[in-house]
Structure 1
Amino acid sequence: MRRARTSFGALGAVTSVGVLIALIAACGDDRGGFIKNDRAFETQSEGGAPDAETCLLQCSLDGRSIIDSCTGGVVETCADDLACGAAKCQEPCAAAEADRSSNGCDFYFTQPLSAYPFASCFATFVVNASNKPATVSLELGGEELDVSGALFRAVPNSTDLELLEGPIPPGESAILFVADWDPTIPRSLGERLYHTSCPTAAKPAIQADGYFRSGIGDAFRLKSNVPIGLTWMYPYGGAGTHFPTATLVLPVSAWAKEHVVVNGWEANVGEPVTQIFAAEDDTEITIFGSKDVTNGVGFAGATAGMPAKIMLSKGQFVQIAQSQELTGSLVFSNKPTATVGGSECANLPSKAAACDTLAQQIPAFEQWGSEYVGIGYRPRTANTEEIVWYRMVGGRDGTELEYDPVKPAGAPTTLSAGELVLFRARSNDAFVVRARDAEHPFYLGMHMSGADGEESDSPSHGGMGDPEFVNVVPSGQYMSSYSFYADSSFSEHSLVIVRKKTHGAFKDVWLECAGNLPDWKPIDSAGQYEYRRVDLSRNFGPGDSFGEKRCTTGLQRMRSEGAFSATLWGWGKYASYAYPGGTAFRKLVEIPLSPVN
C-alpha cells in the first residue's frame, strides 16, 4: 500500500513531481558475457596475475549471435526478435539484464538537490543500444507523463534539435526533456537569473515547482521496450546554466541490497546530499551513519553508528542533505536499491570559485573493484600540468594498496572500512592502484576543480570548467563497446580511454569518428594498461582529426575485441559535466558487508 508522498526532490518539482535529473548518454553495448565466466573481458583477476585463455561461448559485439571466444566463429545466430545476453539468445531486455551492463529497460532517477532552488531544465540523453526501435515512456508517482513534445533528435554537428516523432531508431540517440518550472508563475529577477529554460520548441513532460531538502519524494521512472543507455543532465543548456552536472543512470537490474555512501564534497557553499531509491513496495532501508543522520520529513535520523530506518514504496526516494558528510556510511535494504551521492553546490577546493552542483549514481558495494586506473582529462589550459583530485573510499578494514608506476603524493597505502581519503595528481600522470584481492574493494572517483583555482598549486584555468565529480570505472567492470552522447552546448570535450590487455595483447579500439585509434601511451610498468585521449570538440568547433575523419559532438560509438573504459568530460565557461560512457555491473565482491552491531 502506497503512503502519502511528500513533494519530491531537489531542484524543482511540485508536490508530485520527483526530483529531476537525467542526462543520458551512456551505455555500453557490451555483449561479452561468457557462459561460464561473467567477467567477460577480464585479463587478470582483480589485483592478480593474468588469467590463462579459456575458450568459452560469448555474445558477439553486435549482440546478434553466440560465438566461440577463441575463434570468433558463430555458434548460433539469434532470431530477429531476440538478442544475445550471457551467451544465450533471449528477449532483448532479459539479455541486457543478463549482461549486467549499464544498458537496461527500467530506470529510476530524480533531479539533484541544488543550492539554487529554482527549477531549471532537467533532461536525459537516451541511446538506443539495440537493433530494434526504442519506445520510451516516463512515469511519476505511478502516472504516465506525456512525452510527445519532449523527445528530440540532436542534429549532428549542431546545437539544433528536431522533434522526434515515433520511436528512437536502432543505434541512435535522443534528448528527453523531463521537467522545468511552472511557466505560469511570476518570477523575481533573482529567480530568472539562475534559471535555465528548456529549448523553446520543447514541452517538458512536467512543468511544476517544488523543493525540499531532507525528505521522501517520488522519482521519475523511464521504461523502454528494448535496452537503452541513460544519462541525466541538470540543468540542460551548456555553460550558461552556471552549475550543470550529469550522471550515468543505472538500470534496476544493476541495483543491490548493500551500499556504501559516497558524497560529492564536504560542506562549503552547499551541503553534501545522499539519495536512495526503491523500485518495490515495502522497501526497508537501514543506514548506519559515519556521522549523525539528521531527521527529515517522513523519517527519523539516528546518531552515528546507530540504525536509521526508512520505509519506501515503489518509485520513491529518500533525500538527505546535511552539513556533516555521510561518506562511508553503510546502507542495507531488504530489496534492491540504488544510491546517488553529491553536493548542492561545492567549491573545489573549498576556496576555489565557482561552485557547482555535484551528483553521481554510486555502484553497489558488490560491484566495487580492487584495481583502478587513474588518468585525467586534457588540461583545460594549454601547456600546463593541471592538478586533478581523487576521492577514495575504503570498503573493508586492512585494505593495503600498491601503485604502479608511482604513488601520487598524499595517496594512501592502507584504507579502513568507510575511510575517505582525498589526494591529488597531475592530469597527465596515469597510475594503476590495486588492493591485494577482490575481497578488499574500494571506491575511486575523480574531480575537476573550480575555474578560478586556489593558491599557487591550483592556479586559475581562465574561467574554464568548474567542479565536477565522476566515478572511475574499476578494471573488472570494463566492457568492449559503448554508445554515448557528447552535448554540443559545451565548447570543450575530452574523451579519456583506457584499454587493458586481453588474452595477452592490446586490441584495437574503434571510435566511429576516428577508426582504429593510434598512438596509445603506456601506463604501468607491468605493461597491462594503455591510454589515450580524443578531443571531440574545441571552442565549439570540431575536435581531433584522423585522416579524412574528424571528431565532433553528438552520438559517439566505440567497440573493441578487448576490454576498455571510456569517460567523457565536457566543459565551458564556469561549467562542466562528466560521466562514464558505460560500465558493467558484475559481482566482483562475494563477502557481504558486516552490519554494525
Structure 2
Amino acid sequence: MMLRVSRVASVLVAGLAFVSAGACGEDRVAFRPSPPGFSPEVDAGACVDRCSLDGRSVIKCTGELVEACPSDLACGGGKCQAQCAAAAAEGSSNGCEFFLQPPFLVATVFHAHSCYASYVVNTSTVPVDVELEYQGKALDISKSMYRTVPGEATLVPHTGAIAPGDGVVLFVSDRPTRPDRPSTESAHTPCPTGTTAALYRDYYPNGTQFGSSFHLKTSAPVSAAAIYPFGGAPSIAPSATLLLPVSTWSKENILINAWASGRIFPPGAQIVASEDDTEVTIFPKKDIQDGIGVAGSPAGVPATYRLQKGQFLQLVQHQELTGSFVTSTKPTSIFAAHVIMDIPSDNGTADLEGTQVPAYEQWGSEYVGVGYRPRRGDEHEPMPYRIVAVRDGTRLDYDPVVPRGAPLELNAGEVAAFASGVGDAFVVRTQDAEHPIHVAQYMTGQSGDYWGSGRDFAGQGDPEFVNVIAAGQYLTAASFYADPTYSETSLVIVRAKTDGEFKDVTLECLGGPVTGFRPVGTRGDYEWTRVELSKRNRPGTTSGDKACHYGAHRLRSDGAFTATLWGWDLAASYAYPSGQATRRLVQAPLITK
C-alpha cells in the first residue's frame, strides 16, 4: 500500500568556528584566539585514546589503530562497547531511549488532539528494533511505521527492524475518530488516510497540570525528532523538535518558555522525569500559578514537585518563567512550549510550539546565527532571536556587527529579544565558558515581520522556534529526516575551521561535498551555505545525476559543523537541528552557595 501526502520544508543552521585541539578526537575542539576579555570555550584536554570519526575503531592520538571494533559494537569513550553504551559515552543527540509528548497545552476552538509523529533514523551499523510505551504499557507499532519513497511524497508501510542509514515516520497518537473515518472537525488534523497510529485517545489538556510522556526505546542508536501535528499545510500550527536521549539529561536545567505571552494565549513548559520518585525544585522568577493538582508558589520561593518515570509537569501561564533555575534529584529534561505563539505579538497568525532544550551544563558561550532561505527572496528578512543568560554580568560580543536591538550585557535569568536578517550571519560570544547562554531563533508569521511592517510572505510559513546549537556542540556527522508533507525543504550548514582549514561537508543525496560556503563575520572562523532538499514539491539541489528530496539524509565531515532543517508551506512551518553533541561545557554548578 502506498499513501500520498502533501508536502513542504526548509532549513537553517547555526554554527561556530573550531580548530582542532591537537589530535585528541573529534569531540575535542577549541576556538581560535578570542578578543581581549573573551576566553576559549573548550580546552584541548589530555591526549588519550579516542574513537575514529566513523566510530568503528579505537585509535591513538597519533591516529595509529589500537583496535577495530567488532561489527556489533561501536567505539565510545575510547573503547569498543555495546552500541547504546557507546552512544551514551560519546554524548550526542543519537541514543537509544527518549521521552516525548505533544505540545498540546490547552484544548481550544483552534486545536483538538491531532496526529503526533516521530522521525526515527538509524545511525548505527546494525538493524534497529523500535519499541514504544505509554504509561508503562507497550504499544503495538507494527502498523504505525512508514518510510518515504525516494523522490516522492509517498508513505509506504514499514515492518520489522530499520536498516542502517534508513529512516521511518512513526505515527505515535491520534484521536479515536481515526482510523475508521476521517474527522470532520476543522481543529483536528488526522494522521494520513490509510495509516494507523500506535495509540488513539481523547486528550483535553487544560493548562498547568501533570501528564504522561511516550517512551521510545531502540536496540541501537538512532536520531529521533517529533512533530505535532503531522501533515504539512493542512495541520496549520505544527512544531517540531530534535529529541535528546535520556543519557544526556541532567539534574540542573533552566526553564525556557518558547516566547512571550501572546495576545490571548500564554507560553508554557514541560518538565519530564526519566526515573521514579524524582523531586523537581523550581526557583521561579515569577509567581507560579496554581493548576490542576499543582500548587503554585510566589516568585523567589522554591517549589518542589514529585514526578514518576515518564511523567511531566506542565506549566502554562501568561507570566513568563523563562530563566528560572530547575534542579532535580534524578535526571530531567525541559521542553519549551507555547499554546499559540504570535510573532510578532500583534500578528494574526500563530502556531503552537514544543522544543526540547539542552541541559544547563551543555549550554555554550559562542553561537552562530544564520537563517532559512528567505521566503520572498530578501536576505534581510528579519529573523527574531532570544538570548537567556545564567550569570550576572554576562557580556555579549558580536561579529561582524551588533544586530539591531541585541543586548550587550545580561544578568542571571534575563531574556532579551532582537532580530537579524536571515542572510546576515553573525557570531555572538560571552567572556568565558562559565557565562553560558541559550540562543533560540524564530520564523515570524506569514504576514508582518518582527519590526511591525506590513510585509507579506504570500501566506508562506508561520511562527516556529528552534535551538541554535552551541559552538562547543558541533559534530562531524549527523542524520535527519525531511518531512514529505512540506513543499519547501532547505538545509543551512555552518562549518567551523578545523586544523586551520575548512573541511568538506558531504551530503549523501549530492554524492559529494556541499558547495557555496560564505564567510560568517570578519574573524574567519566559520562559513555557511544552504542546500535545497525540495522546491515547490519537486526535488531541490542537484549534482550530476543526483538530486536531494524528502526522507532520511546523512551529513559527514572531517571537521566540525552544524545544520538545521526548516520546512514551510501555506501558514505552516517546522524546524529542528540535524543533531548536536551534548558535551559538558560548563563546570560550575547551577546554584552556588
TM-score (norm 1): 0.90
1:575 match: 572
Task: Report the CA distance between 1:547 and its aligned residue.
Answer: 3.2
Distance 2:221 2:99 in 1: 15
Point out where structure 2 has 5 or more consecutive residues left out of the alignment.
1-12, 14-19
User: What is the distance in 1 between the residues matched to 2:150 and 2:180?
Assistant: 36
Matched residue, 1:160: 154
Contact preservation (8 Å) 1:282, 1:311: yes
- After superposition, the Cα gap between the structure-2 partners of 1:571 and 1:69, relative to the gap in structure 1 and judged at 3 Å, is farther
**CA displacement, residues 322-378 of structure 1 (integer Å, 9 cap, x when unaligned):** 111111111110111000011111110011231101111011111000000011111
Aligned residue for 1:48? 39
Instruction: Map Cα deviations across residues 86-110 of structure 1 (whole Å, 9 max, x no partner).
Output: 2210000000000110011111111
Q: Show the 5 A alignment for 1:451-530.
A: 451-454=446-449, 457=453, 459-514=455-510, 515-530=512-527
The one-letter code matched in structure 1 to 2:211 is G
RMSD: 2.4
Counterparts in 2 of 1:548 and 1:453: CA distance versus 1, 3 Å: same
Q: Name the counterpart of 2:246.
A: 252
Larger RCO, structure (CA 8 Å, separation 6 or more): 2
> Aligned residues, how many?
564
Partner of 1:445: 440
Mapped pair 1:58 → 2:50: yes
In 2, the alpha carbon distance for the partners of 1:528 and 1:184 equals: 51
Q: CA deviation at 1:82?
A: 0.8
Could you tell which deviates more after superposition, 251-260 or 290-299? Answer: 290-299
| Paired residues of 1:117 and 1:211 also in contact (CA < 8 A) | no
User: Are the aligned partners of 2:32 and 2:525 in contact in 1 as well (CA < 8 Å)?
Assistant: no
1:75, distance to aligned residue in structure 2 (A): 2.6
1:229 to 205, 218, 223: 223
Identify the match of residue 208 of structure 2 among 191, 201, 214: 214
Residues 102 and 583 in structure 1, CA contact (< 8 A), matched pair in contact too = yes
Identical pairs, percent: 47
Contact 1:84 1:90 in 2 (8 A): yes
1:576-591 map, 5 Å: 576-591=573-588
Structure 1 gaps, min length 5: 1-25, 27-31
2:80 & 2:574 partners in 1: Cα distance? 37
Which amino acid letter does the alignment assign opposite residue 66 of structure 1? V
Residue type of the alignment partner of 2:194: A
Instruction: Report what 2:4 is aligned to.
Output: none
CA drift of 1:523 comes to 0.7
Q: Does 1:277 align with 2:272?
A: yes
Secondary structure of 2:247 counterpart? helix
What letter matches 1:537 in structure 2? Answer: S
Q: Secondary structure at the match of 1:376?
A: coil
Shift of 1:270: 2.0
Question: What does residue 22 of structure 1 align with?
Answer: none
- 1:81 aligned onto 2:72: yes
- 2:331 maps to what in 1? 336
Aligned residue number for residue 198 of structure 1: 191
Q: Displacement, 1:197?
A: 1.0
Question: Residues 15-414 of structure 1 correspond to what in structure 2 (within 5 A)?
Answer: 39-44=27-32, 48=39, 56-68=48-60, 70-71=62-63, 73-114=64-105, 115=108, 116-183=110-177, 192-212=185-205, 213-268=207-262, 269-383=264-378, 385-414=380-409
**2: CA distance, partners of 1:584 / 1:359:** 20
Pick closer, same or farther for the CA change 1:504–1:456 going to 2, 3 Å: same
Separation in 2 of the partners of 1:67 and 1:45? 28
State the alpha-carbon separation in 1 of the partners of residues 163 and 104 from structure 2. 33
Shift, 1:194, TM fit: 1.6
State how far apart, in whole Å, the 2-side matches of 1:299 and 1:383 are.
Answer: 47
Give the SS at the match of 1:513: helix
Instruction: In structure 2, give the amino acid aligned to 1:491.
Output: S
Q: Distance in 1 between matches of 2:487 and 2:178?
A: 32
Q: 1:314, CA displacement in angstroms? A: 1.1
> Which amino acid in structure 2 is aligned with residue 102 of structure 1?
S
Contact 2:275/2:330 (CA < 8 Å) preserved in 1?
Answer: yes
1:549 lines up with 2:540 in the alignment: no
